[in-house]
Amino acid sequence: MPELLDQPGESQSQALYTVVAGEGDGFLLAMAAGDTAGGAWDLGYSATTEQATVISYELIATSDIDHERLVSSLLEMDGAFGEESVLRSVSPELRSWLDRAAGGSSTPGREVSLDGAARAAPLGVAYRRDPDRVVAEAIEMGRRFHTDAGSIAAGVITAAAVAASCFAQSGLDLIVGVTEAVSPSLERLGRGVDAAERLSSIPDEMGALLPRFGLTTGEQALEAAGGDDRDPVQLVLAGLLLAAPVAPRHHVAIEQAARIGGSRLGGVVGAIVGARVGLRAWPWAFANDTWFAEIGRRLVRGPDEVRDLPIPYAVEQHLMSSSSPGFH
């Protein structure tokens, strides 16, 4: 029998619901925790969190994403302007995109990738009060980096899940709510992309998660989502299944996601869980935790200002060039 979460009964003291905790401000701190748990960089978080940080800065400052400015910021992080690269454990897909961008053409790539899911997480927080915009912005962001339909869809699912979690949506309600937000967008998402046929089965795949709600191990969740750890949609759906229950130990879902999907899925599930449970300590040590907490807080509550925050490149360069790189 699959291992299921204990469901609270009438004689138990566990709450049957959750309340809003920060309206999403814990997403980036928990993303860094999940990224660290995945071990892509052995001393902490990787390019997964670094990209989300740069995107969050854009959203704090302007409530929008200017693609040219975002490209410039990511190239700066990669050392394209004469400095050393501070992006750590870059995926092959991101490496290809950065190389094209450095050559003057930031065109999307055809590779299947989970990268877009983590990049979409800040959009769910920034536009959490506007579900249509969450989906539209996630599609736009995905198309800037990917032409593969499943890779873009994984970002849309993530953004919707993070947005719902900002308002403490959980359990079956979270899965149903994300399904209702994502399914109508698939026709629009599928225009002019590669492997568009991948999109047709996503609503049924999401519906199939409902009877499997309560699974607590990554392997079981991935099997319930279809079993293909190379498919970004199935990985994100497995992550959604892990993140949905309200569990006493919030970190377990993140840990299990990292087991099946590494730092990228660990970061995605971290963002979903962190958006729901707020700012809190996590069991993995990594640098700059107060910085991530403040970025999340500003994205939710303001001020809409980053000039008094450290420059992301400077933060990461200091982390990499100190006499003992890593967390201190």
Tell me the pLDDT tens digit for each residue of 266-309: 999 999 999 999 999 999 999 999 999 999 999 999 999 999 99
Q: What is the pLDDT of residue 318?
A: 94
Q: Note whether 271 and 248 are within 8 A (CB).
A: no
Q: Which residue has the tokens 């006499």?
A: 323
CA distances from 163 to 43, 151, 218, 307 (A): 30, 19, 23, 26
In angstroms, the CA 216 to CA 2 distance is 9
Q: What is the mean pLDDT of the chain?
A: 93
13 pLDDT exceeds 70?
no
Q: What is the mean pLDDT of residues 25-43?
A: 97
Tell me the pLDDT tens digit for each residue of 52-105: 999 999 999 999 999 999 999 999 999 999 999 999 999 999 999 999 999 999
For 320: left if phi > 0, alpha if psi spans -120 to 50, otherwise beta; the answer is alpha
Q: Please indicate whether residue 19 or residue 261 has the higher confidence score (pLDDT).
A: 261
118 pLDDT exceeds 90?
yes
328: pLDDT confidence band, cut at 50, 70 and 90? very low
Percentage of residues in the chain having pLDDT higher than 90 = 89
- Domain covering 22-319 assigned CATH 1.10.4080.10 in the classification: yes
190: pLDDT confidence band, cut at 50, 70 and 90? confident
9 pLDDT exceeds 70?
no
18: pLDDT confidence band, cut at 50, 70 and 90? low
In angstroms, the CA 30 to CA 199 distance is 29
Tell me the pLDDT tens digit for each residue of 213-265: 999 999 999 999 999 999 999 999 999 999 999 988 999 999 999 999 999 99
Q: What is the pLDDT of residue 204?
A: 97
Using DSSP, state whether 309 is helix, strand or coil. Answer: coil
16 pLDDT exceeds 80?
no
Q: What is the pLDDT of residue 2?
A: 42
19 pLDDT exceeds 60?
yes
Q: What is the mean pLDDT of residues 160-189?
A: 96
Q: What is the mean pLDDT of residues 22-48?
A: 97
In angstroms, the CA 154 to CA 202 distance is 10
Q: In the beta sheet, which residues pair with residue 109?
A: 146
Q: Note whether 38 and 254 are within 8 A (CB).
A: no
